[in-house]
Amino acid sequence: MKALALNAIKSPLQLEDRPDLIPGPDEVVVSVKAAALNRRDYWITQGMYPGIKPPVILGSDGAGIVSRTGSGIPDDWVGRDVIIDPGTDWGDNDAVQSAAFTILGLPRDGTFATEVVVPACQIHSKPAHLDWTQAAALPLAGVTAYRALFTQGGLNAAGSNSNQRVLITGIGGGVATFALQFAVASGADVWVTSSSPEKIDRAMEFGARGGFNYNDDDWGKQLIDQAGAPNLIVDSAGGKGYGSLIHVAAPGGRIVNYGATTGPPEKLDLFKVFWKQLRLQGTTMGSPNDFAKMLGFVDEHKISPIIDSVCPLEEGAEAIGRMKSSPQFGKCVLSIQS
Q: In terms of CB distance, is 21 or 208 closer to ligand NAP?
A: 208
Q: What is the rounded distance in angstroms from the CA atom of residue 226 to the CA atom of residue 166?
A: 14
Quick check: helix, strand or coil at residue 119?
Answer: strand
Is residue 293 within 8 A of residue 146, CB to CB? The reply is yes
Nearer to ligand NAP, 64 or 142 (CB): 142
Q: How far is the C-alpha of 111 from the C-alpha of 40, rounded, in Å?
A: 13
Smallest gap from residue 166 Cβ to ligand NAP (A):
15
Amino acid identity of residue 142, one-letter, is G
**Shortest CB 338 distance to ligand NAP, Å:** 26
Instruction: Give the span between the Cα atoms of 27 and 24, in whole angstroms.
Output: 5
Q: Which residues contact 15 (CB under 8 A, 6 or more apart)?
A: 2, 3, 4, 313, 314
Q: At closest approach, how far in Å is the CB of 148 from ligand NAP?
A: 9
Q: What is the CA radius of gyration of the chain?
A: 20
Q: How far is the CB of 90 from ligand NAP (least distance, A)?
A: 12
Which backbone phi and psi does 101 adopt, to 5 degrees? -60, 135
Q: How far is the CB of 94 from ligand NAP (least distance, A)?
A: 15
Give the residue with the Cβ less far from ligand NAP, 239 or 296. 239
CA distance 137 to 127: 12
Q: Are 230 and 248 in contact (CB under 8 A)?
A: yes
Closest separation in Å from C-beta 215 to ligand NAP: 8
Residue 320 beta carbon to ligand NAP: minimum distance, rounded to whole angstroms? 10
Name the residue nearer to ligand NAP (CB basis): 40 or 68: 40
Beta carbon of residue 30, minimum distance to ligand NAP (angstroms, whole number): 21
Binding site for ligand NAP (CB under 6 A): 38-40, 43, 141, 144, 169-176, 193-196, 199, 214, 236-237, 239, 241, 258-259, 261-262, 284-285, 323, 326
| Cβ neighbours for 315, distance < 8 A, ≥ 6 positions apart | 334
SS3 labels along 214-272? CCCCCHHHHHHHHCCCCCEEEECCCHHHHHHHHHHCCCCCEEEECCCCCCCCCCCCHHH
Instruction: Pick between residue 111 and residue 196 the one whose CB is nearest to ligand NAP.
Output: 196
Task: CB nearer to ligand NAP: give 25 or 91.
Answer: 91
Which secondary-structure segment (H or E) carries 213?
strand 210-213
Nearer to ligand NAP by C-beta: 61 or 109? 61
Q: How far is the CB of 141 from ligand NAP (least distance, A)?
A: 6
Nearer to ligand NAP by Cβ, of 55 and 197: the residue is: 197
Cβ nearer to ligand NAP, comparing 23 with 265:
265
Q: What is the SS3 assignment for 136?
A: helix
Let me know: does 214 contact 262? Beta carbons within 8 Å: no
